[in-house]
Amino acid sequence: MDIQQIRQQCKATSKLVHFNNAGAALSPEAVTSAVLDYLRLEQRVGGYEAAHTKATELDAFYASMAELLHCQPDEIAFVENATRAWDQAIYAVRWQAGDEILTGEMEYASNYMGLLHLQKQTGIKIRLIPSDDQRQIDLARLSAAITPRSRMIALTHIASQCGDIQPAAEVGRIAQEHGLYFLLDACQSTGQLDLDVNALHCDFLCGTGRKYLRGPRGTGFLYVRASKLPDLQPIFVDLHAAKWTAANSYELQANASQFENFERFVAGQLGLAVAVDYALQIGLESIAERIQLLVNKTVSALDDLPDIKIHERSMQRSGIITLSRQQEPASALHARLAGAGINTSIVKAANTRLDTQINGQQDRLRASLHYYNSEEEIERFVRVLGAH
């Protein structure tokens, strides 16, 4: 990986230290240009006409996503963000009151609220599986909790609030063995890890463009396993998701586009395709390796600061590091780093209510690193943190 070249392809890296990749990463110039060029084309020739001109590139988005996730292009839906993709998945199942969804304590806040909302609408039951002492879903308790009414396991691969990686493939295997749907939120892992929907045994996988994929904001996607489509139905349809076949009938598209909207952020779809190709070109294994290297360096440097507590517990760490300091609230740490040109973010305790191990505790600082970050940036981050 040519880090210098990669940094040159994203000018902002020379001006600021961006450790907020779990919020939104910096896009390479090629992504931003694809979006801006397309918006200019729309302005010149008209929106529908521009889409017609770029039909091949728009279609290539599906092939690129499929290559990234090791699936078929028609198993991909372009959706505006990961939360809506999650909602599309949970509402696609024909639920009966009393059916069960099993999930973990490290769920993303909006995902869990989505499940609570679904529970209210349909009478399903949420079964919460505790984490083990490494903050990973307890696999033995998960298996033991499955009943004849269980129908889905829904899991967040890497939490927004904690960088431990959940054992998604093992969870997927358990789901498959018991004939349950497996929905994986790969919002933080797409673009960071090499994901293979077959190795993960996913029926659904949702993600977003702006985080580790370095794509535009307002873009996301949903993978849906083709063999499961006949049993599913989208919560909403429009004249893209379905064909109006007679005055009183319609027919759903026979692929994942039944979960899409006609109207969308077309420039964003093009930009996301460029971002996916960019990641593929670098190689997902190299990306994962580089992130691991940078995170290990950061953690061992932070270990030398006596009053910093790092919250990750597992051996399987992602680019996300969360930390706190007894004497200095996360908001003060965040402001001090921002003053030194270092972007980080704050994990609000109020958004992590299921994680019993931090429930009721203070907010934390989140530093999320990507492959384009440098060792000098890590040194600067640790120096600023320590200088108080």
Ligand X SMILES: Cc1ncc(COP(=O)(O)O)c(C=O)c1O
Please give the residue ranges that form the binding site for ligand X (CB under 6 A). Answer: 81-83, 108, 110, 156, 159-160, 185, 187-188, 208, 220
Look at phi and psi of residue 283 and say left if phi exceeds 0, alpha if psi is from -120 to 50, else beta. Answer: left
Q: Which are the contacts of 339, defined by CB distance < 8 A and separation ≥ 6?
A: none
- By three-state DSSP, how is residue 371 classified? coil
For residue 83, the minimal CB distance to ligand X (Å) is: 3
- 225 burial level (CB within 10 Å; 0-12, 13-18, 19+): buried
263/236 Cα distance (integer angstroms): 13
- 246 burial level (CB within 10 Å; 0-12, 13-18, 19+): exposed
For residue 249, the minimal CB distance to ligand X (Å) is: 33
B/e letters for 64-79, b = 16+ CB within 10 Å, e = fewer, are: bbbebbebbbbbbbbb
Q: Looking at beta carbons, which residue is closest to ligand X?
A: 160
CA-only gyration radius of the chain, Å: 21
111/369 Cα distance (integer angstroms): 24
For residue 243, the minimal CB distance to ligand X (Å) is: 29
Type of residue numbered 242: A
For residue 29, the minimal CB distance to ligand X (Å) is: 23
For residue 3, the minimal CB distance to ligand X (Å) is: 25
Nearer to ligand X, 108 or 182 (CB): 108
For residue 108, the minimal CB distance to ligand X (Å) is: 4
For residue 124, the minimal CB distance to ligand X (Å) is: 20
DSSP sequence for 65-124: HHHHHTS-GGGEEEESSHHHHHHHHHHHS---TT-EEEEETT--HHHHHHHHHHHHHH--
Task: Express the helix, strand and coil content of the chain in percent, nearest 5 each.
Answer: 45, 20, 40
Type of residue numbered 125: K
